[in-house]
A and B are shown apart, each in its own frame.
Chain A
Amino acid sequence: MSRGLVRGAVAALLAIGLTACGGGSGGGQGSDKELTFWMYQDRTPQAGQVIEKIRKDFEAANPGVTVKIVKIPKDDYNTKLGSAVASNSAPDAGILDQPLVSKFALDGTIKEVPAGLINEADYYKGALDTNRANGKLYGLPADQTCVALFYNKKLVPTPPKTWDELKQVAAQVHAADPNIAGMNVPKGDGYGGWMFPAIVHGAGGEMVDDAGKKVLFDQPPAVEALQLWVDLLKSSPRQITDSDKPFENGLAAMTITGPYDVPTIRADFPDLDFGVAPLPYKTEPAGNIGGEDSVVFSTSKNADLAWKWLVFLTNPQNNGQLADALGGFPVNVKAQVVAGGPEQAAFLEQLKVAHARPAVPQWIQINDEIIAPAIESALTGKATAQQALADAAAKTRTLLGWNS
């Protein structure tokens, strides 16, 4: 009796294991055309409905085609995608984080956009540029986002437009109440490193020239940008800004963050009277860009159909809704922005002057391991802005082999 039970249990376990393995094979086969598309898990139930509607519209417009959408939690997405690519079971197409596009492009994991697929002028330049590697286009943007200046209206009546005004306002706030910091100055970590280029572009500079293989973040615009953060620290002590949510709690008068923080602030801090303005600049308005791109994988058997689907996602009819569902702004200049709060105007203005991050495959590593520590050493006074960035640029040149 007990032995029979054991054998039965073992057989059952094996059977379960086998079917589980069998179910894992990738899609894309079958007589009717099936398209597999990977994306992040829905942020809200409404977002799920929007995506479902776009999927049904596409299937109605293309008889015989089924689009299978696989949704994966954002934190696991890159790991799952990497394993799928490694085991030859990548989907036909999928969402891809912007800095990964150049990596995937250069090792042949994703396809180049076919000539004539889109009219490039239909897309925001900054967003489209995040899909370039070696000057070629490897994907279409799906949505875009950026950072801007959030300010506490009680402490800052009119938002600063230039660096000088920014420093002035911050100093005034801190002088009026030494328990309040003028600004939540970014730190020398990966996140601060991501925001830093926006400031550098505001002084007319660039981080790198990837076509010419030149590292430029030791040049005056970048040094001045870092010096700005160092100067701001005088009126923004870290003892105050290192507290939990300093801007939301009214301890910092200004901060730099993105539209993704607006709903949380509204929900958790309903009393905070805040506004959003474009980033202060030195010589020209500028900003950075984030968001998601969409790409077609090299292993896809339905590449033409996959591109058609990606164009469908970014056309003027669908992209406004889709971008809103993904938590960003549309990438198609003709798409209607889903109406939101008064802060939208500032973000949209910012996106017009957005700059894509360098299309260098190792950029995340350079950002985290070289630029972020350099920013931190200047902010803590261990080196001057000039020394820190010169040292970081030298390391980057060696790492990339751009010594010429």
Chain B
Amino acid sequence: MTAPPLVEQQDLAPGPRGGARRRPVARRRDHLVAWLLIAPALAYFLVFLLYPALSALYYSFTDWNLRSEASWVGLANYTDLLFDDVKYPHFWKSVGVTLQYTLLSVPMTLVAAMVQALLLNAIRRGSNLFRLLLFLPVVTAEAAVGAIWRWLYDPQYGLINSALGLFGIPGQNWLNTPELVIPALAFIATWQCGISMIIYLAGLKGIPGSIQEAAIIDGAGPWQRFWRVTFPMLRPTTFYLVVTGVIAALQVFGLVYVIFSGSGRSVTGGPEQSGLTYVLHLYLFAFRYDAMGAACAMSFILLVFIMIVTALQFRFLKREAA
């Protein structure tokens, strides 16, 4: 954003290639405007994303409670988190909970989204209405979602137990039985699959009708057409949804926080820590147990883990997707 050097301005003399010569200055002016235009976004990135991230990296090597001076402890936060089960008794538990949640919720979400997208793509009338209805769970406030699902899962009055009762299946105490907590949470995530559904729908619209027609002429039935044409054509979409879905699932926080907090409940992550996801655990150390340094270290362990998982996905899934 410095002033343009005078030397170049003298080159402005009109000549046979005057138009071409004029361009650098015009371009420079465009640059200035361009910088001004992206300045807010850039400032936002630098001030609210990059600077805090770098600070967090620094604090992850310190013992810091937000109030007193941070004291340098080197790698102690990292080694304690990984190996000291007195200081962090539930760290590995939270890792396990999060992995279990990711492995359940991502496939369930994708299947549900795919089925919904196929159904929406098949109907001629009212598809806008159904698209709206299926998308509604995504735009509903998390607090309301939490409250509604607490009622649905209620062991005494819950609709889910009533529905199971119709088939003779005994009612469960969903959110208070350690083994059922993660499946119950994954089911809520599946219900909120609207964004994946919209992306799948866009992918379906992008498959040329001529390919489907050719398959029909070749005598392919609906099942074959799905597995041989639609599904392979959607592979790039599926790949994108798997990668973003895994990243989001590993960071799940809001839903768990809402479900396991509120009047008379505490945020300690459900029965026997069965709903203590990684980021909830991190949040508790940052804001409840005054260990901001350790919380920063946790966030960087998660960052590295997500980068590794994503790299592996690109290595092994993308080739298949291409």
Contacts and interface: CB of A to CB of B under 8 A. Distances in A.
Interface string A223-252: 000000000000000111011101000010
Interface stretch (B124-132, B153-161, B222-230, B302-310): B153-161
A109 B89 contact: no
Nearest to B269: A189
Interface in A284-316: none
A201 interface: no
Contact of B265 (A191, A361, A380, A398): A191
Interface in A356-377: 361-362, 364-365, 368-370, 372-373, 376-377
Interface in B140-172: 150-151, 154-157, 171
Q: Which 9 A-B pairs have the closest CB atoms?
A: A190-B266, A243-B156, A82-B66, A365-B289, A107-B68, A191-B266, A242-B176, A85-B67, A190-B268
A161 interface: no
Nearest to A361: B290
A86 interface: yes
Contact of A373 (B171, B267, B272): B272
B318 interface: no
A117 interface: no
A140 B289 CA distance: 23
B287 A79 contact: yes
Contact of B86 (A187, A240, A398): A398
Interface string A71-106: 000000011001101100000000000000001100
The range of chain B's interface size is 35 or more
A369 B288 CA distance: 11
B284 A368 contact: yes
A108 interface: yes
A352 interface: no
Contact of A187 (B37, B151, B271, B287): B271
A197 to B, nearest CB: 15
Interface of B: 33, 36-37, 39-40, 65-68, 86-87, 89-90, 150-151, 154-157, 171, 173, 175-176, 263-268, 271-273, 284, 287-291
B268 A78 contact: no
Contacts of B271: 187-189, 376, 380
Contact of B150 (A188, A244, A377): A244
B284 A6 contact: no
Interface string A174-210: 0000000000000111111000000000000000000
A108 B151 contact: no
A7 B34 CA distance: 11
Contacts of B287: 78-79, 82
A6 B36 CA distance: 8
Given A10-B40, A82-B287, A377-B272, 5 more contacts: A3-B33, A6-B33, A83-B66, A239-B155, A369-B268
Contact of B272 (A85, A251, A376): A376
Contacts of A364: 288-289
B68 to A, nearest CB: 4
Contacts of A15: none
A61 interface: no
B67 A86 contact: yes
Given A104-B67, A108-B68, A380-B272, A7 B36 contact: yes
A369 B90 contact: yes
16 contacts: A7-B36, A107-B65, A108-B68, A188-B271, A191-B264, A239-B173, A242-B173, A242-B176, A244-B151, A361-B290, A364-B289, A368-B268, A368-B289, A370-B89, A372-B268, A399-B86
Contact of A243 (B86, B154, B273): B154
A380 to B, nearest CB: 7
B268 A242 contact: no
A243 B288 contact: no
A66 interface: no
Given A10-B40, A373-B273, A109 B266 contact: no
A109 B68 contact: yes
B289 A362 contact: yes
Contacts of A103: 65, 290
B287 to A, nearest CB: 6
A395 B89 contact: yes
Contact of B39 (A10, A104, A108): A10
B265 A189 contact: yes
Contacts of A246: 156
Nearest to B43: A17
B266 A240 contact: no
A376 B90 CA distance: 14
Contacts of B288: 364-365, 368
Contacts of A373: 89-90, 272-273
A41 interface: no
Interface string A3-35: 100110010010000000000000000000000
A306 to B, nearest CB: 18
B264 A238 contact: no
